[in-house]
Amino acid sequence: MSIFAIDLGGTNIRAAAIERSGVILAADQAKTPKSLTPDDLFDLISKLHRGLAKRVGGKSAFASAAIAVPAPAAEDGKGILTKVPNIPSLEGMQLLRPVVEALGMPVLIENDATAAAIGENWIGASRKVDTSIMLTLGTGIGGGLIINGEAFRGPDGSAGEIGHFCVEPDGYACGCGSRGCLEQYGSSQAVTRMANELGMNAESSEEVYRLAVSGDRDARWIFSEVGRYLGIVSAGLINTLNPDMVVFGGKVAGAFGLFAPRLRSEIRKRAFPAPAVRCRIVKGKLGDHAGLIGAARSAMIRFG
Ligand SMILES: [Zn+2]
Protein backbone atom coordinates (compact mmCIF):
# COMPACT_ATOMS: atom_id res chain seq x y z
CA MET A 1 0.00 0.00 0.00
CA SER A 2 1.20 3.50 -0.78
CA ILE A 3 1.17 6.76 1.16
CA PHE A 4 -0.96 9.77 0.18
CA ALA A 5 1.30 12.80 0.62
CA ILE A 6 0.50 16.52 0.46
CA ASP A 7 2.98 19.40 0.42
CA LEU A 8 1.24 22.65 1.27
CA GLY A 9 3.29 25.52 -0.15
CA GLY A 10 2.76 29.26 -0.42
CA THR A 11 2.54 28.96 -4.24
CA ASN A 12 1.42 25.36 -4.95
CA ILE A 13 -0.24 22.50 -3.16
CA ARG A 14 1.38 19.29 -4.38
CA ALA A 15 0.02 15.79 -3.85
CA ALA A 16 1.38 12.34 -4.64
CA ALA A 17 0.83 8.64 -4.14
CA ILE A 18 4.19 7.34 -2.94
CA GLU A 19 5.35 3.74 -2.79
CA ARG A 20 7.25 2.37 0.20
CA SER A 21 10.45 2.54 -1.84
CA GLY A 22 9.98 6.30 -2.32
CA VAL A 23 8.87 5.97 -5.95
CA ILE A 24 6.10 8.40 -6.93
CA LEU A 25 3.25 6.43 -8.51
CA ALA A 26 1.10 9.43 -9.41
CA ALA A 27 1.25 13.15 -8.70
CA ASP A 28 -0.97 16.19 -9.02
CA GLN A 29 -0.93 19.81 -7.94
CA ALA A 30 -3.08 22.90 -7.56
CA LYS A 31 -2.31 26.60 -7.17
CA THR A 32 -2.54 27.80 -3.56
CA PRO A 33 -5.45 30.30 -3.54
CA LYS A 34 -4.52 33.85 -2.48
CA SER A 35 -6.27 33.83 0.91
CA LEU A 36 -6.66 30.12 1.52
CA THR A 37 -9.28 29.36 4.18
CA PRO A 38 -9.31 26.13 6.20
CA ASP A 39 -12.47 25.06 4.26
CA ASP A 40 -10.72 25.67 0.90
CA LEU A 41 -7.82 23.58 2.14
CA PHE A 42 -10.01 20.65 3.22
CA ASP A 43 -11.81 20.77 -0.16
CA LEU A 44 -8.51 20.81 -2.06
CA ILE A 45 -7.04 17.93 -0.03
CA SER A 46 -10.20 15.84 -0.56
CA LYS A 47 -10.23 16.60 -4.29
CA LEU A 48 -6.54 15.70 -4.72
CA HIS A 49 -7.12 12.52 -2.68
CA ARG A 50 -10.07 11.43 -4.86
CA GLY A 51 -8.15 12.16 -8.05
CA LEU A 52 -5.04 10.24 -7.04
CA ALA A 53 -7.02 7.34 -5.52
CA LYS A 54 -8.69 6.81 -8.91
CA ARG A 55 -5.28 6.58 -10.58
CA VAL A 56 -3.69 4.10 -8.13
CA GLY A 57 -6.51 1.61 -7.51
CA GLY A 58 -9.01 3.25 -5.18
CA LYS A 59 -8.93 4.77 -1.71
CA SER A 60 -7.92 1.46 -0.13
CA ALA A 61 -4.60 1.76 -2.00
CA PHE A 62 -3.41 4.19 0.70
CA ALA A 63 -2.14 2.97 4.08
CA SER A 64 -1.80 6.46 5.58
CA ALA A 65 -1.46 10.12 4.73
CA ALA A 66 1.18 12.76 5.40
CA ILE A 67 0.84 16.52 5.13
CA ALA A 68 3.90 18.75 4.96
CA VAL A 69 3.05 22.25 6.19
CA PRO A 70 4.99 25.55 6.05
CA ALA A 71 4.68 25.85 9.82
CA PRO A 72 6.09 24.29 12.98
CA ALA A 73 4.48 20.88 13.53
CA ALA A 74 4.35 20.14 17.26
CA GLU A 75 4.35 16.50 18.29
CA ASP A 76 1.40 16.96 20.66
CA GLY A 77 -0.96 15.07 18.35
CA LYS A 78 -3.31 18.05 17.89
CA GLY A 79 -2.10 19.29 14.52
CA ILE A 80 -2.84 22.96 15.24
CA LEU A 81 -1.08 25.39 12.91
CA THR A 82 0.11 27.99 15.40
CA LYS A 83 2.32 30.07 13.11
CA VAL A 84 2.10 30.14 9.29
CA PRO A 85 4.13 33.17 8.09
CA ASN A 86 3.43 32.57 4.38
CA ILE A 87 -0.25 31.56 4.59
CA PRO A 88 -1.43 33.63 7.58
CA SER A 89 -5.10 32.87 6.77
CA LEU A 90 -4.50 29.37 8.16
CA GLU A 91 -3.11 30.51 11.49
CA GLY A 92 -4.74 28.78 14.46
CA MET A 93 -6.47 26.15 12.30
CA GLN A 94 -6.94 22.62 13.60
CA LEU A 95 -5.74 20.55 10.66
CA LEU A 96 -5.39 17.02 11.93
CA ARG A 97 -8.80 15.80 13.14
CA PRO A 98 -10.90 17.01 10.16
CA VAL A 99 -8.43 15.50 7.67
CA VAL A 100 -8.39 12.17 9.53
CA GLU A 101 -12.21 12.19 9.38
CA ALA A 102 -12.32 13.19 5.71
CA LEU A 103 -9.72 10.66 4.52
CA GLY A 104 -10.50 7.83 6.92
CA MET A 105 -6.89 6.86 7.60
CA PRO A 106 -4.02 7.81 9.92
CA VAL A 107 -2.59 11.24 9.08
CA LEU A 108 0.78 12.69 10.03
CA ILE A 109 1.60 16.39 9.95
CA GLU A 110 5.23 17.35 9.39
CA ASN A 111 7.01 20.64 8.90
CA ASP A 112 7.74 20.92 5.16
CA ALA A 113 11.48 21.56 5.44
CA THR A 114 11.91 18.83 8.06
CA ALA A 115 10.08 16.58 5.59
CA ALA A 116 12.45 17.65 2.79
CA ALA A 117 15.45 16.95 5.06
CA ILE A 118 14.07 13.46 5.79
CA GLY A 119 13.45 12.82 2.08
CA GLU A 120 16.96 13.87 1.03
CA ASN A 121 18.43 11.83 3.91
CA TRP A 122 16.40 8.77 2.89
CA ILE A 123 16.99 8.56 -0.87
CA GLY A 124 18.52 11.90 -1.93
CA ALA A 125 21.63 14.06 -1.59
CA SER A 126 22.35 13.35 2.10
CA ARG A 127 21.75 9.58 1.94
CA LYS A 128 23.99 7.77 4.44
CA VAL A 129 25.05 11.12 5.95
CA ASP A 130 24.74 11.27 9.77
CA THR A 131 24.18 14.95 10.41
CA SER A 132 22.77 17.27 7.78
CA ILE A 133 20.93 20.55 7.53
CA MET A 134 18.36 21.25 4.82
CA LEU A 135 17.38 24.71 3.68
CA THR A 136 14.38 24.99 1.37
CA LEU A 137 14.42 28.24 -0.60
CA GLY A 138 10.86 28.76 -1.82
CA THR A 139 8.26 31.49 -1.26
CA GLY A 140 9.76 31.49 2.25
CA ILE A 141 12.81 29.70 3.69
CA GLY A 142 12.38 26.51 5.67
CA GLY A 143 14.97 24.52 7.56
CA GLY A 144 15.22 20.92 8.66
CA LEU A 145 17.74 19.20 10.93
CA ILE A 146 18.90 15.59 10.80
CA ILE A 147 21.13 14.87 13.77
CA ASN A 148 22.81 11.47 14.06
CA GLY A 149 20.35 10.05 11.51
CA GLU A 150 17.19 11.34 13.23
CA ALA A 151 14.99 14.34 12.47
CA PHE A 152 15.23 16.89 15.27
CA ARG A 153 11.95 18.80 15.77
CA GLY A 154 11.95 20.17 19.33
CA PRO A 155 8.96 20.03 21.70
CA ASP A 156 7.09 22.78 19.82
CA GLY A 157 8.14 21.60 16.37
CA SER A 158 10.02 24.82 15.65
CA ALA A 159 13.55 23.34 15.66
CA GLY A 160 15.24 24.14 12.37
CA GLU A 161 13.29 27.33 11.59
CA ILE A 162 16.45 28.62 9.96
CA GLY A 163 14.52 31.01 7.69
CA HIS A 164 13.80 33.13 10.74
CA PHE A 165 17.39 33.60 11.78
CA CYS A 166 18.01 37.36 11.93
CA VAL A 167 20.59 38.59 9.39
CA GLU A 168 19.72 42.33 9.47
CA PRO A 169 18.60 43.57 12.91
CA ASP A 170 16.72 46.55 11.41
CA GLY A 171 15.90 44.88 8.11
CA TYR A 172 12.63 44.11 6.34
CA ALA A 173 9.60 43.09 8.41
CA CYS A 174 8.98 39.34 8.23
CA GLY A 175 5.69 37.41 8.16
CA CYS A 176 6.72 35.76 11.45
CA GLY A 177 6.45 39.10 13.28
CA SER A 178 10.20 39.70 13.55
CA ARG A 179 12.46 41.78 11.33
CA GLY A 180 15.44 41.11 9.08
CA CYS A 181 14.99 37.32 8.94
CA LEU A 182 17.01 35.29 6.40
CA GLU A 183 13.70 34.61 4.62
CA GLN A 184 13.58 38.29 3.62
CA TYR A 185 17.00 37.99 1.89
CA GLY A 186 17.15 34.53 0.31
CA SER A 187 13.62 33.42 -0.66
CA SER A 188 11.97 33.75 -4.08
CA GLN A 189 10.00 36.72 -2.73
CA ALA A 190 13.25 38.35 -1.64
CA VAL A 191 14.84 37.83 -5.09
CA THR A 192 11.85 39.50 -6.77
CA ARG A 193 11.84 42.36 -4.23
CA MET A 194 15.56 43.03 -4.72
CA ALA A 195 15.07 43.04 -8.51
CA ASN A 196 12.26 45.55 -8.27
CA GLU A 197 14.30 47.75 -5.94
CA LEU A 198 16.88 47.88 -8.75
CA GLY A 199 14.14 48.90 -11.23
CA MET A 200 14.03 45.57 -13.07
CA ASN A 201 10.23 45.12 -13.03
CA ALA A 202 10.57 41.36 -12.56
CA GLU A 203 7.45 39.37 -11.76
CA SER A 204 9.16 36.26 -10.44
CA SER A 205 12.48 34.93 -9.19
CA GLU A 206 12.60 32.71 -12.30
CA GLU A 207 12.64 35.83 -14.46
CA VAL A 208 15.54 37.24 -12.43
CA TYR A 209 17.31 33.88 -12.79
CA ARG A 210 16.94 33.95 -16.58
CA LEU A 211 18.35 37.49 -16.67
CA ALA A 212 21.29 36.41 -14.49
CA VAL A 213 22.05 33.46 -16.74
CA SER A 214 22.01 35.76 -19.77
CA GLY A 215 24.66 37.90 -18.06
CA ASP A 216 22.62 40.76 -16.55
CA ARG A 217 24.90 42.30 -13.90
CA ASP A 218 22.17 43.42 -11.51
CA ALA A 219 20.50 39.99 -11.62
CA ARG A 220 23.85 38.30 -10.96
CA TRP A 221 24.49 40.67 -8.04
CA ILE A 222 21.13 39.66 -6.51
CA PHE A 223 22.09 35.98 -6.45
CA SER A 224 25.49 36.86 -5.03
CA GLU A 225 23.65 38.69 -2.21
CA VAL A 226 21.45 35.63 -1.68
CA GLY A 227 24.67 33.59 -1.38
CA ARG A 228 26.15 36.08 1.08
CA TYR A 229 23.16 35.90 3.45
CA LEU A 230 22.86 32.12 3.14
CA GLY A 231 26.61 31.86 3.78
CA ILE A 232 26.44 34.00 6.94
CA VAL A 233 23.74 31.74 8.39
CA SER A 234 25.35 28.52 7.13
CA ALA A 235 28.64 29.48 8.81
CA GLY A 236 26.82 29.92 12.13
CA LEU A 237 25.06 26.59 11.70
CA ILE A 238 28.32 24.85 10.82
CA ASN A 239 29.93 26.20 13.99
CA THR A 240 26.85 25.24 16.05
CA LEU A 241 26.10 21.72 14.78
CA ASN A 242 29.29 20.56 13.00
CA PRO A 243 27.20 18.95 10.22
CA ASP A 244 28.55 16.71 7.44
CA MET A 245 26.39 18.45 4.84
CA VAL A 246 24.11 21.41 4.15
CA VAL A 247 21.56 20.69 1.40
CA PHE A 248 19.76 23.43 -0.53
CA GLY A 249 16.35 22.73 -2.05
CA GLY A 250 13.28 24.68 -3.19
CA LYS A 251 12.86 26.64 -6.41
CA VAL A 252 15.61 29.20 -5.67
CA ALA A 253 18.06 26.28 -5.39
CA GLY A 254 17.64 26.08 -9.19
CA ALA A 255 20.08 29.03 -9.09
CA PHE A 256 22.55 27.08 -6.89
CA GLY A 257 25.38 27.61 -9.40
CA LEU A 258 24.84 31.38 -9.17
CA PHE A 259 24.78 31.76 -5.38
CA ALA A 260 27.00 28.86 -4.23
CA PRO A 261 30.41 30.54 -4.87
CA ARG A 262 29.58 33.48 -2.57
CA LEU A 263 27.94 31.13 -0.05
CA ARG A 264 31.09 29.01 0.12
CA SER A 265 33.38 32.02 0.41
CA GLU A 266 31.31 33.39 3.32
CA ILE A 267 31.60 30.03 5.08
CA ARG A 268 35.38 30.00 4.57
CA LYS A 269 35.60 33.53 5.99
CA ARG A 270 33.34 32.98 8.99
CA ALA A 271 33.19 29.36 10.18
CA PHE A 272 35.82 27.47 12.21
CA PRO A 273 38.25 25.86 9.74
CA ALA A 274 37.84 22.15 10.53
CA PRO A 275 34.01 22.00 10.44
CA ALA A 276 33.97 24.34 7.40
CA VAL A 277 36.25 21.98 5.46
CA ARG A 278 34.26 18.91 6.55
CA CYS A 279 30.84 20.25 5.61
CA ARG A 280 29.74 19.63 2.03
CA ILE A 281 27.47 22.28 0.48
CA VAL A 282 25.20 20.68 -2.11
CA LYS A 283 21.99 21.04 -4.06
CA GLY A 284 19.19 18.60 -3.19
CA LYS A 285 18.56 15.65 -5.50
CA LEU A 286 14.80 15.26 -5.08
CA GLY A 287 13.84 18.70 -6.41
CA ASP A 288 10.23 19.73 -5.81
CA HIS A 289 9.37 16.26 -4.51
CA ALA A 290 11.65 16.26 -1.45
CA GLY A 291 8.89 17.40 0.94
CA LEU A 292 6.35 14.89 -0.40
CA ILE A 293 8.79 11.99 -0.27
CA GLY A 294 10.06 12.89 3.21
CA ALA A 295 6.54 13.36 4.58
CA ALA A 296 5.62 9.93 3.21
CA ARG A 297 8.74 8.45 4.85
CA SER A 298 7.73 10.05 8.17
CA ALA A 299 4.25 8.49 7.92
CA MET A 300 5.84 5.06 7.20
CA ILE A 301 8.06 5.43 10.28
CA ARG A 302 5.11 6.53 12.46
CA PHE A 303 2.35 4.23 11.21
CA GLY A 304 4.30 1.34 9.71
ZN1 LIG B 1 10.80 35.73 10.18
Q: Does domain 127-284 have CATH number 3.40.190.10?
A: no
Residue 80, helix vs strand vs coil:
strand
* Ligand 1: centre distance to CA 182 (Å): 7
* pTM score over 0.75: yes
* Ligand 1: centre distance to CA 136 (Å): 14
- At residue 75 the predicted structure's pLDDT band, cuts being 50, 70 and 90, is confident
* CB-count exposure of residue 212 (10 Å: 0-12, 13-18, 19+): buried
* Ligand 1: centre distance to CA 87 (Å): 13
- Domain spanning 2-115+289-303: which superfamily? ATPase, nucleotide binding domain (3.30.420.40)
- At residue 227 the predicted structure's pLDDT band, cuts being 50, 70 and 90, is very high
* Ligand 1: centre distance to CA 12 (Å): 21
CB burial of 144-153 (b: ≥16 within 10 Å; e: otherwise) equals bbbeeeebeb
Q: Are 231 and 267 in contact (CB under 8 A)?
A: yes
Q: Are 125 and 180 in contact (CB under 8 A)?
A: no
Q: Are 161 and 152 in contact (CB under 8 A)?
A: no
Strands 132-137 and 245-249: parallel
* Ligand 1: centre distance to CA 198 (Å): 23
Q: Does the pLDDT value for residue 253 go beyond 90?
A: yes
Q: Does the pLDDT value for residue 219 go beyond 80?
A: yes
For residue 11, the model assigns a pLDDT of 86
Which residues of the chain form CATH 3.30.420.40?
2-115+289-303, 127-284
pLDDT digits (tens, 9 = 90+) for 76-86: 878 899 889 88
Instruction: Of 25-29, 77-81, 115-119, 201-205, give the lowest mean pLDDT range.
Output: 77-81
CA atoms within 13 A on the CB side of 249: 33
For residue 162, the model assigns a pLDDT of 98
For residue 157, the model assigns a pLDDT of 93
* Ligand 1: centre distance to CA 91 (Å): 15
